[in-house]
Amino acid sequence: MTTLLEVEDLRVAYGKIEAVKGISFSVEAGQVVTLIGTNGAGKTTTLRTLSGLLKPLAGKIIFDGQPLNGVPAHKIVALGLAHSPEGRHIFPRLTITENLQLGAYLRDDKAGIEKDIQRAYELFPILGERRKQAAGTLSGGEQQMLAMGRALMSRPKLLMLDEPSMGLSPIMMQKIMQTISELKAQGTTILLVEQNAQAALSLADHGHVMEVGNIVLSGTGQDLLHDESVRKAYLGED
């Protein structure tokens, strides 16, 4: 297996508050790896640092064989690391098609971009039906689909998803999780941050449990799903 992402002893702080306190993990090409954990554990901070939006205090990030420390965010996207952020951040006044086009802003292969827009519509038919509609008029779940579709438009080697199921109905959530499985089957490597531990661990090859800035437990998705402490803390069992 090829290691696509290697994170070593990563530390990130906001002023004096250390939000990520020295975490290490890796993502193999073709895998789905999930970071789970309670509010404030440092999951979003980790993804934002990998994307180059936050500067780490210390630690190494190697992506596709190349160190990312000091590389600006737009270059990181160009290297093949895409981020679908928490809270979606779509452009509400632009149409769905325009939002998708913006996801390809670093590409200039017009025909390829058009093909990938069609692929996003195949993945999420509702987006195709509403393609001329302002993105701000979509439902929460549909906006989440658009955010995922937009992140895919850079043809990433690694797709990072920050809480794709947040605020969604059970049916919408199932649809999003099913799409993540489809993307994996198509060979997309995914780093998935989720509060919904059950859903995330069910489809992940590997998982890491974060608590207040540290990874406290790691294992295969199935191992963690059956781990007693995980079941108690994250799956609501006692």
Ligand X SMILES: Nc1ncnc2c1ncn2[C@@H]1O[C@H](COP(=O)(O)OP(=O)(O)OP(=O)(O)O)[C@@H](O)[C@H]1O
Per CB under 5 A, residues contacting Mg ion are 43-44, 86
Q: For ligand X, which is the closer residue by CB, 45 or 51?
A: 45
Identify what 40 binds: Mg ion, ligand X, none; CB under 5 to 8 Å per kind: ligand X
Q: In the 8-state DSSP scheme, what is residue 223?
A: H
Which residues, listed in sequence order, are joined to residue 134 by a DSSP beta bridge?
95
Closest separation in Å from C-beta 119 to Mg ion: 28
Minimum distance from residue 27 beta carbon to ligand X (Å): 18
Q: Which is nearer to ligand X, 87 or 136 (CB)?
A: 87
CA distance 210 to 110: 41
The CB-of-57 to ligand X minimum distance in angstroms stands at 13
Helix 140-152 with 110-123: angle, nearest 10 deg: 150
Minimum CB separation of residue 93 from ligand X in Å reads 26
Least CB distance from residue 24 to ligand X, whole Å? Answer: 17
Yes or no: say if 230 and 197 are a contact pair by the CB < 8 Å rule: yes
Coil/strand/helix, residue 12:
strand
Q: Which is nearer to Mg ion, 73 or 166 (CB)?
A: 166
Judged by beta carbon, residue 130 or residue 208, the one nearer ligand X is 208
Q: Which residue has the tokens 């959530």?
A: 173
Report the residue count for the chain.
238
Partner whose binding site includes residue 197, from Mg ion, ligand X, none (CB under 5 to 8 Å by kind) = none
Q: Which residues pair with 214 in a beta bridge?
A: 211
Angle CA 228–202–11, to nearest 5: 75
- Could you list the residues that contact ligand X (CB under 6 A)? 14, 17, 19, 37, 39-45, 86, 195
Task: Give CA–CA dist 68/216, Å, rounded.
Answer: 25
Nearer to Mg ion, 3 or 38 (CB): 38
